[in-house]
Amino acid sequence: MAATNDKLSFETALEKLEVIVESMEAGDVPLADLLAKFEEGTKLLKVCETRLKDAELKIEVLKKQKGGELAFDKFETTASE
């Protein structure tokens, strides 16, 4: 499942996370399912955090060129597990 989560966009991961939270808050989930949902939610949260960190890094390297146009410098991101 981790390989699948790594390919999710921020929006998709957040949407799935919201569905999990709503089902957990409903209170009618058996304990075993609750633990599985918590584990999946934790993985989705990590995906969201990684996507946000990548976006933050892109913003940090955004700079103005001499002509006043905006450009991105290339950089490598490292996804930590």
Domains of the chain, by residue range, sit at 2-72
* Overall fold of domain 2-72: Helix Hairpins (1.10.287)
17: confidence class by pLDDT, cuts 50, 70, 90? very high
**How high is the mean pLDDT of the chain?**
81
pLDDT of 81 above 50: no
Of 38, 44, 50, 59, the residue nearest 77 (C-alpha):
50
Average pLDDT over residues 48-54: 93
13, 20 contact by CB (below 8 A): no
Q: At residue 18, does pLDDT exceed 90?
A: yes
